[in-house]
Copies of this chain bind each other. A is one copy, B any other.
Amino acid sequence: MGEREENFIEWLNNVLFTAQIYDYRYPVKGMGIWMPYGYKLRQNVINIMRKLLDKTGHEEVLFPLLIPRTMLEREATHIKGFMGEVFWVTRGGKSRLDMELALRPTSETSMTTAFRDWIQSWKDLPLKVYQVVSVFRYETKSTRPLIRVREISTFKEAFTAHATSEDAWRQFREAISIYKRFFNALGIPYIISSRLPWDRFAGADETVTFDTIMPDGRALQIGSVHYLGQRFSKAFDAKFMTEKGKYEHIYQLSYGISERVIASIIAVHSDELGPILPPNVAPIQVVIVPIPYKEVEEAVYKYARRIYDELKRRRLRVHLDDDPEETPGSKFYKWERRGVPLRVEVGPRDLENGGATLVRRDTRERLFVKLEQLAEEIRRTMRVMLREMKERAWREFKARLKPAKSLEEIGEVVKNRMIAIVPWCGSEECAHEIEDLTGYKILGKPLRKPRKSRDKCPVCGRSSITILYVGRSY
């Protein structure tokens, strides 16, 4: 068991900086810098999400960061949940502001304000928008890079408005399906669960979350979908005219993902050296490293450049590392630690044989490929690699989900860095007891009830009607 499992957060912090993804040394707690390489990774990941959202009729918008206190306080349950963690702007220049302004912790209130202005009749519905922005939470718990930050600098938040509750629930299922496709595209395994009532988003009638598992066994919530119903539309008086000419309040959802997805990519696809970036989002998919020998140095560099030009022309994200002052071995190590999925080595023998040696970052497999087939072989390898990375991640993930039939077993399972699957009678009292007696957290229950079993609730001993996921979580 290595650093990654034993001391995950420190490992993550080091890897993020070594790979030049995210610099967490910024002198404000819980805030970090996306470095050029990390920014590209982030963009590639966001663009997968954008495509999924655009295809399903969502449109991108950009709202102001600042939310006036009165707006944020308008829906009572919501503000109750967020009040403790809002950053407040109270001064401009030397003047005290008349109205304190919140750095948005989330945007339900400003969106509903705009929806009220934008939506007149049923013809304007459904309305589906999203934005990718920073949101701010004054976290009092320990902050962790990308995982628990005070500036969530990559928050994709979607908001929809519907004429009927049926249509809103249909959208709820669509949102879940979009997130499934998103995490599948990145090979990140997950469980989908419904939060118990006291654990829902502040203002939601139902919250479904996606959780993955970090190498230290803790669950990480990486996506959530909230059914808001008419709670906000009633508080903000956001109405529309129905086909029959009556006025009704809109039905709303919100759903979000954050840079935790980047943390997950790195946590899930990595080894002792660092990240293995999925080829579909890697900023550099292929690094070319020439291996010059005396007397054929010139020829090798020239040949490497030719390969670079060809791969570039074939629209691969390729980098040529031909610095003559660094050894090939040092380059191999450097690019492995930056997570580049494929390496092309070009030595005198490759030159002689009219090809190059392709090396996979994950399996270290080596393959000599003729120049004419190189681009095609790289594409094929990237596809295979992504599929195998995904399969490996799911295998490891599933091995960390373990049934536990008693409170003692829950303790053992969680101590062994796993998530416990616990039979449950359905009573909220027993759920509270499970959390109180084990000290662990209930992530939620599955969306559909599992097949009938003869298991008993570990608290009251009655027959279980479903299960709960229990573990430690970030």
Docked-complex contact B89 and A88, CB < 8 angstroms: yes
A91-B93 in contact given A62-B34, A62-B39 (Cβ < 8 Å)? no
A68-B27 in contact given A39-B59, A92-B138 (Cβ < 8 Å)? yes
Cβ proximity bits A164-175 to B, threshold 8 Å, 1 near / 0 not: 000000000000
Contacts of A93 in B (CB 8 A): 83-86, 138, 140
CA of A83 to CA of B95, assembled, Å: 11
Task: Return A58 CB to nearest CB of chain B, in Å.
Answer: 9
Instruction: Find the B residue at minimum CB distance from A71.
Output: B27
Contacts of A59 in B (CB 8 A): 36, 39
Q: Is A414 an interface residue (CB 8 A)?
A: no
Q: Is A2 an interface residue (CB 8 A)?
A: no
Number of copies: 2
Q: Is A355 an interface residue (CB 8 A)?
A: no
Contacts of A27 in B (CB 8 A): 68, 71, 113
CA of A99 to CA of B28, assembled, Å: 9
Q: Is A26 an interface residue (CB 8 A)?
A: yes
Task: Return A80 CB to nearest CB of chain B, in Å.
Answer: 13
CA of A62 to CA of B36, assembled, Å: 8
Task: Return A437 CB to nearest CB of chain B, in Å.
Answer: 30
A26 partner, pick from B34, B42, B64, B138, beta carbons under 8 A: B64
Docked-complex contact A64 and B117, CB < 8 angstroms: no
Docked-complex contact A60 and B88, CB < 8 angstroms: no
Q: Is A75 an interface residue (CB 8 A)?
A: no
A87-B83 in contact given A64-B28, A64-B32 (Cβ < 8 Å)? no
A114 partner, pick from B33, B39, B61, B103, beta carbons under 8 A: B33
Contacts of A101 in B (CB 8 A): 28, 87
CA of A90 to CA of B101, assembled, Å: 11
Docked-complex contact B103 and A31, CB < 8 angstroms: no
Scan residues 78-118 of chain A and give those whose CB is less than 8 A from a CB of chain B.
Answer: 83-95, 99, 101, 103, 110, 113-114, 117-118
A64 partner, pick from B71, B86, B151, beta carbons under 8 A: B151
